[in-house]
Structure 1
């Protein structure tokens, strides 16, 4: 295989995850739309408190992505050997972490969680 074909990559993911792949892709799309909606509402400014909590959730999302990958493949953590295995594992962690951070920021922004205004007004 001399070139990277995105359709082959999609076929491999479909084989590994089955219907879960399409659910994850739909969730990623909704998270992106929600993130953009929060960003537009906040006039393009990221809120620090909300972002810190979203990043903490992203750390858990990265761990969950690695564990999900471990659950759907036949190989275990003891099978990690070469450098490419570590690169792929790091990429899975980063993708899960980034996606969860975006989704958490959108959820926190749309529900009003971790927003100082709401806490002071409700006190």
Structure 2
């Protein structure tokens, strides 16, 4: 693999997760992102109480993202081979943490409404 293109990345992700699961995750991420934008536009302000709960959920999201990656790739932490593996694992953890925070904040805002 000399060149890293979008089609190459899509093929790799489809191979890791399976075509159906990968596109389901992409669709879910799109729906959550649109819901988050809807909440931000509707509320016109950030609820700091909801934001605190969203931040407290971030470690759970990081652990779940790393666990999901390890399960899908049939790997274990002892299989890490070098610094790039650690960097990728940390990027997955950060992505999971941010994703969980957005999901929790959006969920709270949609279920509880604007008040607080």
TM-score (norm: length of structure 1):
0.84
- Does residue 33 of the first structure (1) align with residue 23 of the second (2)? no
Aligned positions, number:
115
C-alpha distance in 2, partners of 1:79/1:73? Answer: 11
Q: Which runs of 5 or more residues in structure 1 are unaligned?
A: 117-123
Q: Which runs of 5 or more residues in structure 2 are unaligned?
A: none
TM-score (norm: length of structure 2):
0.89
The 8 Å contact of residues 58 and 101 in structure 1, kept in 2 or not, is answered as: yes
Deviations 1:73-105 (A, max 9, x none): 132110113110000000111111111211111
Moved over 6 A (4+): none
The 8 Å contact of residues 43 and 114 in structure 2, kept in 1 or not, is answered as: no
- Give the aligned CA root-mean-square deviation in angstroms: 1.8
C-alpha distance in 2, partners of 1:32/1:49? Answer: 20
When structure 1 is superposed on structure 2, of 74-83 and 88-97 the one drifting more is 74-83
Structure with higher Rg: it is 1
